[in-house]
Amino acid sequence: MKKIIFRFGLVIAIALIGFGLQTAHNQTLNRPVTSHASQADLATNRAVHTTKLKQVPTLFVHGLGGRYLSETPMVKPSVRAGIATWGLLVSVKANGHIAIKGHLTHKKNPVILLRFENNLAGEVQDAEWLHDVLAVLKAKYGVTKYNMVSHSMGAYAAVYYAERLSHTSDQPTLNKLVTIAGPFNGIMHLRAKRLLVLSNKLLKLVDDKPNTNRLLRNGRPAMVHPEYRALWTARNQFPATAQVLNIYGNIGDGSNSDTCVTTVSARSLRALTGHRAKRYTAKELHGLDASHFQLHNTNRRVQQMLAWYLWHAEL
């Protein structure tokens, strides 16, 4: 009996890490989210640092069910090649407390890995936590400008944050945003049967199907799902200072998807940011290594694109 329970738990953990989906989607999109970050921590950090950081750090944001190990494969080759260096490990606890290890001073192209301890909180709560983390990075570490690399629901959270939460004076300036496998207009139903072992609530958010939607001339999807509408209403607030690179996959099985996110859902980002961004670029990758999981785990082209786009270096 214990073996059965252990195996069932292992299957659930693997499913969460691989899929990068969200939970309680309807709840998070339809109610205001209150950050639980310690106000004492934020007040203390705001008064600590007065020197601006010369380097532009890059913040990595995982998707739902993710962790540090979801982010390191994308940037490890650049670190090994001497293009970038490890900077900070940032952990946001379930109660919003922020714990940071490492430093950014005298580091070449420093990398900041971010982990949400409650990695099932949902994309809107993640966006709130992003706001709190960046407030600390500006106040305590002198970060005035930064890049952000985001995968799956982390990409959705990054865009939501950039539109709605990045404009307060305590926030640094977004320089470059990379979104990878972002489900901006829904998640494919092909995962639904596997996700049923986790929660019946997930059926409400699995609202996209392969080859049933298309983009209009303005880049907006013909069929707009609730999660896209939440971004659409704030599209004119996307930071005009930011450059955007949108990377998405097509494994070539006829579904026009990465097995989780359709190319239409991923490409719909252009209508949200293209008219505001300093520069917008989209890259569609093909092959089995362009699956939702492999894009951030083993895809060499993603690693090379990040090195060139962020730091103008070749791997």
Q: Where does 2-311 sit in CATH, by number? A: 3.40.50.1820
Q: State the pLDDT confidence band at 53, using cuts at 50, 70 and 90.
A: confident
Of 134 and 11, the one with more pLDDT: 134
Task: Give the pLDDT confidence score for residue 279 in this predicted structure.
Answer: 98
Stretch 132-158: mean pLDDT: 97
Domain ranges of the chain: 2-311
Q: What is the DSSP string of 253-311?
A: SSS-BSSSSBHHHHHTHHHHHTTTSSEEEEEEEESGGGSTTHHHHT-HHHHHHHHHHHH
SS3 content of the chain, % helix, strand, coil (to 5): 40, 20, 40
d(CA 38, CA 303): 35
Question: What per-residue confidence (pLDDT) applies to 120?
Answer: 83
Give the long-range contacts of residues 203-208, CB within 8 A, separation 24 or more.
204/25, 204/26, 205/21, 205/22, 205/23, 205/25, 205/26, 206/21, 208/183, 208/261, 208/262, 208/265
Residue 134: partners with Cβ closer than 8 Å, 6 or more residues away: 59, 143, 146, 166, 171, 172
40: pLDDT strictly greater than 60: no
User: Is the pTM value of this prediction over 0.75?
Assistant: yes
Checking phi first, is residue 240 left (phi over 0); if not, alpha (psi -120 to 50) or beta? alpha
Q: How far is CA 258 from CA 37, 49, 261, in A?
A: 35, 43, 6
Q: How many CA atoms lie within 13 A of 260 on its CB side?
A: 29
